Amino acid sequence: MTEPQVLQCRVWLVDSEPPIWRSFEVSNQITLAALHEILQVVMGWENSHLYAFKVADQRYADPVSEPPEDTLDSTTVSLVSLQLTTGHQFTYVYDFGDGWIHQITVGEVLPLPDASATPRCLEGDRACPPEDSGGIWGYEGLLERLTDYEDPDYEELLEWVGIDFNPDRFDLAAVNRQLQGQA
């Protein structure tokens, strides 16, 4: 068995401008399914949709969703078995309808001094889009509409996203509290 290591990763919500991203650490001993759970917290999603990873030429997903024949079970594949190294990139798609595509890059691979030190978020920028906002293009349209007080649906949209929604805000401490509750 390979020694436990920390993977320092960066995830970026593809096509978000300005970029919505997070930097985080995970143990290489976890499964892709566990990484999915961590990404849900780190990014701020609600874990209410299907997901898939694409690493090299292989697709991995939750077996509950009866994935296509060429898709492997994400609950049985550990990160260490994927032999991820510094600079390795792979994708994570959340919500096949909205198509939230995330690019994940492995920054550094370090010794794991203490398993309780992971997972943890190191930094990030911008709020996660609201669930079911129509992918990155729908989200951009939503943000535009939320600046137009004359929009006939303004009040309804504001109620949906929440009066305190701020697309520029990212709360690192809150994310790490949630991650600690998961560990």
User: How many domains are there within the chain?
Assistant: 1
62 vs 68: CA distance, rounded Å:
11
Tell whether 139 is covered by a domain.
no
What pLDDT score was predicted for residue 183? 56
Q: Which has the closest alpha carbon to 133: 149, 144, 125, 122?
A: 144
What pLDDT score was predicted for residue 79? 97
Backbone angles phi, psi at 30, to 5 degrees: -80, 165
Mean pLDDT of the chain, nearest integer:
93
Check whether 1 has a pLDDT greater than 60: no
Structure tokens at 111: 């010794």
Mean pLDDT of 120-136: 97
* CATH for 31: 3.10.290.30
Tell whether 153 is covered by a domain.
no
What would the pLDDT profile of 144-174 be if each residue is shown by its tens digit? 999 999 999 999 999 999 999 999 999 999 9
What would the pLDDT profile of 89-117 be if each residue is shown by its tens digit? 999 999 999 999 999 999 999 998 876 78
Tell whether 156 is covered by a domain.
no
For 62, the 3-state DSSP assignment is coil
Tell whether 173 is covered by a domain.
yes
